[in-house]
């Protein structure tokens, strides 16, 4: 790939990659590799490790049960995310990033 290609071309390629991945036509590894090649890694959902999830909860000074109630998920989900038994979903990872940056006040808006 030439570096001189307009960014609009790379954007279009990334759009198509997203469609193909969503439709199950390309696997996640290929999707990630091609996004990297075309400057689209920012399209990937955020990832949050179990340890980071727990650290953010502790920084917020809330129990697992309190966090579950605040973000409208089950206590079991929080426990599984913190233990690493289940991967933290992208939407929850994004929310935890916002809470980490801005605190619990953003939930009361």
3-class secondary-structure state, position 102: helix
Same domain, 65 and 103: yes
- Of 9-18, 36-45, 53-62, which range is least confident? 36-45
Same domain, 57 and 90: yes
User: For position 59, which CATH number holds?
Assistant: 1.10.260.40
How much is the average pLDDT of 88-94? 89
Same domain, 97 and 54: yes
CA angle 71-55-50, nearest 5°? 80
Residues 6+ apart with CB under 8 A from 10: 38, 39, 40
Domain count, the chain: 2
2 assigned to some structural domain: no
Residues 6+ apart with CB under 8 A from 55: none
Average pLDDT across the chain, whole number: 89
Domain containing residue 76: 50-108
Same domain, 59 and 104: yes
Give the chain's end-to-end CA distance (angstroms, integer): 46
Percent of the chain at pLDDT > 90 equals 60
């Amino acid at each position: 790939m030439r570096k001189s290609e307009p960014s609009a071309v790379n954007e279009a390629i990334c759009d198509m990659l997203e469609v193909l991945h969503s439709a199950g036509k390309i696997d996640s590894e290929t999707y990630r590799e091609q996004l990297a090649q075309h400057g689209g890694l920012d399209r990937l959902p955020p990832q949050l490790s179990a340890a980071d999830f727990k650290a953010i909860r502790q920084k917020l000074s809330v129990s697992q049960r309190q966090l579950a109630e605040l973000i409208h998920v089950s206590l079991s989900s929080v426990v599984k995310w913190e233990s690493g038994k289940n991967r933290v979903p992208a939407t929850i990872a994004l929310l935890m990033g916002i809470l980490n940056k801005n605190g619990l006040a953003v939930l009361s808006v």
